[in-house]
Structure 1
Amino acid sequence: MIRTFADLDLDPNILQAIEEAGFDRPTHIQAQAIPEALDGKDVLASAPTGTGKTAAFVLPALQYLQDFPRRNPGPARILILTPTRELAIQVAEQAKLLATHTRLNIFTITGGVQYQEHADILAQTQDIVVATPGRLMEYIEAERFDCRAIEWLILDEADRMLDMGFAPTVDRLSGECRWRKQTLLFSATLEGKGVEGFTADLLNNPAKVDAEPPRRERKKITQWYHRADTLTHKNDLLKKILTEQSERAIVFVKTRERLAALRAVLESEQIECAWIQGEMPQDRRNNAIARFRDGTVNVLLATDVAARGIDIPDISHVINYDLPRTADVFVHRIGRTARAGKKGIAISLVEAHDQPMMDRIQRYLKEEVKERFIDGLRAKHKKPIFKKKKKVKTSAAKDKTKKQGKKQRKNKGKR
């Protein structure tokens, strides 16, 4: 039974870094995945974000490099692939934190960085490289990155790589790293043909780790919603929440046009905010996230596309200014808060036409999201109740039965 990090037989210098980082005890995913990886097995792991999955692959990778130190300077021995630049930076930061007391070199190779900067990195000895598939493939094709030295290939958020169309690139990278000893694949879900097809070619008889976290590790998110009569009423509710309740909030908006309009409203009320949206220049996006991360501003407006791969600690509130189009996107949104065992709050602002979506979300979550009220801003319209439509299937089935009955009567006596 693994209760402490010492039970994992990690080097004292890694244990010291774990202690300094403030990690108390291994999470469910860490306790399951790390021993399998250290045994030399391929690992196929399902782990929701916020459950400590980054350390679940970084720690065994660091231990492997300690157990088998390199003899000569040279190219990277461990390659970690992530779907987005932000996630690559976050993974590299955590790896550097846990490798504080080692001499290991950890670098990132992603888009949005000048070629010369990468050329300088590739000229040095690298131990771990965290990369996005597209940019790394460019360097491989230009013969600037050598995959023959890769001993471990790690895929983080494999399901999102598939969603973003990286499957062919990952297959090619897997072929380039064919001399590797081990492959570790982490995904939020292992369901669906996509991930199955992805894993069949990459992994060799993997240890399966399905880390549904125990109750104590589950996200501690308190949820409620406010009903809004009009857009002006909705804006008043948001202002009240941002100025009197939240500390650091991500506000989700469904389109770029809605984001621009909301930005203007908040600026007119002297509420400072940063924003990210799809098709935004990388430097402006990085600047917005940096301002939010370092506390220069405490409100970040985001569309769903733009928020992919963002992992910012200490977000107190997620506010759904607009409800998403599907319930699973809602779950991804609210998962931005209550990370690494902390508590968080998710608030939705619901107009009358949003009520059916709110009902669907509750069915998907299998829990009730309660309505709350703010003094002086209570909705005046009655809460709409939408009756479930009768399934067309039932009447179709009746017609089928009638037809069959007629046919039987018609054919009666015929041989």
Structure 2
Amino acid sequence: MFEQLDLDDKLCSAVAQMGYTSPTSIQSLVIPPAMEGKDILASAPTGTGKTAAFLLPVCQFLLDFPRQQPGACRVLILTPTRELAVQVYEQAVQITQYTNLVCGVITGGINYGTDRDTLAQNLDILVATPGRLFEHIEKESFDCREIESLILDEADRMLDMGFSAIVNQIAAEARWRKQSMLFSATLEGAGIARFAKDLLNEPVLLEANPSRKEHAKILQWLHLADDIHHKYALLKHILEHQVTSAVVFVKTRDRLNQLKQMLERDGFTVCWLQGEMPQDKRNAALANFKAGEIKILLATDVAARGIDVENISHVINYDMPRTADIYVHRIGRTGRAGKKGTAISIAEAHDMGIVAKIERYTNQRLKRRVIDELRPKNKEAKPPMKKKKPKGEKKKVKKPKKNKR
């Protein structure tokens, strides 16, 4: 129970209102040391309650040590994407609903007048994307000196997006802080280790091992496609007969526009997310999808993280991702908070290389599925076998050359 974590009754009432009955594994691990003021370096699979794991202890700190006078932001949460920033902000508002704590959000794509209104408030918690926040720091319209807690969410994604230098500069501006927390889907790699070394002070290392109840229950399978026409026919059949709500991933904006036109021509209603899209349109697309008004969301990998929509029944890889870790982030949009989900990949012959890499990375084979009326004509290409030497054939040993004097 959340009460056993020494959380204020107002926070416990809020999480009960949000439908949480008991802490998840990452929350049980993070909240006690975070409430002691220790720096945290933590990893947890997506959809296991990570956001509340850092929001609850900082909210408790703000309640335990209330402001004595008006001032600047006290808790800064940095996220790599606009969508994730908005979602963290919305959860912060829910968690603080029975308190007087003030939350705000700043992201790129919103006009600066809105930012000014946000920053003019007596902010307790600010959620922001690094690029836009750093603009305000340079313009001296945001003051880092009163930040007491700095939280980096999805730090691995920040590194992937090239934010490490800006984040380090923001952290340097907030050097009087008392606590830092870094959360990442994985703690592997030299990049995260350097990030943690630069930003954290003797952190507590926490890696959640979610219970079966929390763990994503994602069925994964693969349809083999003979060509692009067969691939589209498979997608149409899946969308018509299997899906209640789906995120369909494609690799480029051009491919997204092409697929959107084809689906709309065939009577499907879709919304979409892609890079360099005006923020109001991105917000509208997500709102329509979250509300269930539109069942199909087309997305490039800009949406592979940070979209937290309940009850997504399917993730469909219409185009296979470039790397195996992107595959894992994509399919994490379904099967969230212990619910069941399905991830379907549609692969042509040229995709089988990345399929093999995904199977090695996830340590499981993607089950092959067939739709009777759309059976592939071509057989799956098998990876080339290493040639074995005939038995009894001795390995030739090169004799060392004699030195001529």
Match of 2:324 in 1: 327
- The equivalent position to 2:249 in structure 1, one of 235, 252, 256, is 252
Change in Cα spacing, 1:124 to 1:360, as seen in structure 2 (3 Å) is closer
- The equivalent position to 1:18 in structure 2, one of 15, 21, 39, is 15
* Alpha-carbon distance in structure 1 between the residues aligned to 2:303 and 2:12: 36
TM-score of the superposed pair, with normalisation by structure 1: 0.91
Deviation at 1:26, TM superposition (A): 1.0
Contact map agreement 1:274 1:288 (CA 8 A) in 2 = yes
Paired AA for residue 406 in structure 1: P
2:128 is equivalent to residue 134 of structure 1: no
Contact map agreement 1:276 1:307 (CA 8 A) in 2 = no
* Alpha-carbon distance in structure 2 between the residues aligned to 1:109 and 1:382: 51
Instruction: Give secondary structure in 1 for the equivalent of 2:230.
Output: helix
Deviation at 1:342, TM superposition (A): 1.2
Following superposition of structure 1 onto structure 2, how do residues 195-214 of structure 1 map, counting pairs within 5 Å? 195-214=192-211
Match of 1:406 in 2: 400
* Alpha-carbon distance in structure 1 between the residues aligned to 2:87 and 2:348: 36
* Alpha-carbon distance in structure 1 between the residues aligned to 2:385 and 2:51: 43
2:115 is equivalent to residue 118 of structure 1: yes
Deviation at 1:337, TM superposition (A): 0.7
Match of 1:313 in 2: 310
Change in Cα spacing, 1:356 to 1:168, as seen in structure 2 (3 Å) is closer
Instruction: Give secondary structure in 2 for the equivalent of 1:246.
Output: coil
Match of 1:220 in 2: 217
- The equivalent position to 2:347 in structure 1, one of 327, 350, 357, is 350
- The equivalent position to 1:177 in structure 2, one of 165, 174, 178, is 174
Match of 1:395 in 2: none
Change in Cα spacing, 1:308 to 1:28, as seen in structure 2 (3 Å) is closer
* Alpha-carbon distance in structure 1 between the residues aligned to 2:254 and 2:134: 35
Instruction: Give secondary structure in 2 for the equivalent of 1:384.
Output: coil
Match of 2:295 in 1: 298
Deviation at 1:194, TM superposition (A): 1.1
* Alpha-carbon distance in structure 2 between the residues aligned to 1:360 and 1:169: 33
* Alpha-carbon distance in structure 1 between the residues aligned to 2:25 and 2:10: 23
* Alpha-carbon distance in structure 1 between the residues aligned to 2:229 and 2:198: 54
Instruction: Give secondary structure in 1 for the equivalent of 2:373.
Output: coil
- The equivalent position to 1:339 in structure 2, one of 312, 323, 336, is 336
* Alpha-carbon distance in structure 1 between the residues aligned to 2:386 and 2:328: 25
Number of residue equivalences: 399
Change in Cα spacing, 1:390 to 1:257, as seen in structure 2 (3 Å) is farther
- The equivalent position to 2:42 in structure 1, one of 38, 42, 45, is 45
2:358 is equivalent to residue 361 of structure 1: yes
Deviations 1:29-71 (A, max 9, x none): 1111110101111111112221111011000011111111112
Following superposition of structure 1 onto structure 2, how do residues 80-91 of structure 1 map, counting pairs within 5 Å? 80-91=77-88
Paired AA for residue 356 in structure 1: G
Match of 2:89 in 1: 92
Deviations 1:245-283 (A, max 9, x none): 111101111222222221122111101111222233333
2:143 is equivalent to residue 149 of structure 1: no
Change in Cα spacing, 1:389 to 1:275, as seen in structure 2 (3 Å) is farther
Deviation at 1:192, TM superposition (A): 1.4
- Which sits farther off after the overlay, 85-94 or 382-391? 382-391
2:59 is equivalent to residue 70 of structure 1: no
Deviations 1:296-336 (A, max 9, x none): 21101111235443222221100111112222211111111
Match of 1:103 in 2: 100
Task: Specify every segment of 5 or more residues in structure 2 that has no aligned partner in the other structure, as ranges.
Answer: 389-394
Match of 1:61 in 2: 58
* Alpha-carbon distance in structure 2 between the residues aligned to 1:23 and 1:367: 32
Contact map agreement 2:84 2:306 (CA 8 A) in 1 = yes
Contact map agreement 1:91 1:130 (CA 8 A) in 2 = yes
* Alpha-carbon distance in structure 2 between the residues aligned to 1:44 and 1:354: 36
Instruction: Give secondary structure in 1 for the equivalent of 2:12.
Output: helix
Contact map agreement 2:107 2:132 (CA 8 A) in 1 = yes
Instruction: Give secondary structure in 1 for the equivalent of 2:263.
Output: helix
Contact map agreement 1:174 1:202 (CA 8 A) in 2 = yes
Change in Cα spacing, 1:390 to 1:254, as seen in structure 2 (3 Å) is farther
Deviation at 1:9, TM superposition (A): 0.7
Instruction: Give secondary structure in 1 for the equivalent of 2:307.
Output: coil
Change in Cα spacing, 1:300 to 1:165, as seen in structure 2 (3 Å) is same
Percent identical: 58
* Alpha-carbon distance in structure 1 between the residues aligned to 2:95 and 2:290: 21
TM-score of the superposed pair, with normalisation by structure 2: 0.93
Paired AA for residue 56 in structure 1: A
Deviations 1:91-142 (A, max 9, x none): 0101111111111100001111221112122222111011111111111121
Deviations 1:344-373 (A, max 9, x none): 000111223323332332222111221122
* Alpha-carbon distance in structure 2 between the residues aligned to 1:306 and 1:348: 17
Contact map agreement 2:305 2:329 (CA 8 A) in 1 = no
2:275 is equivalent to residue 278 of structure 1: yes
Deviations 1:125-183 (A, max 9, x none): 11101111111111112121111111111111111111111111111111111111111
Say what the alpha-carbon RMSD is for the aligned residues.
2.0
Task: Specify every segment of 5 or more residues in structure 1 that has no aligned partner in the other structure, as ranges.
Answer: 392-397
* Alpha-carbon distance in structure 2 between the residues aligned to 1:306 and 1:210: 25
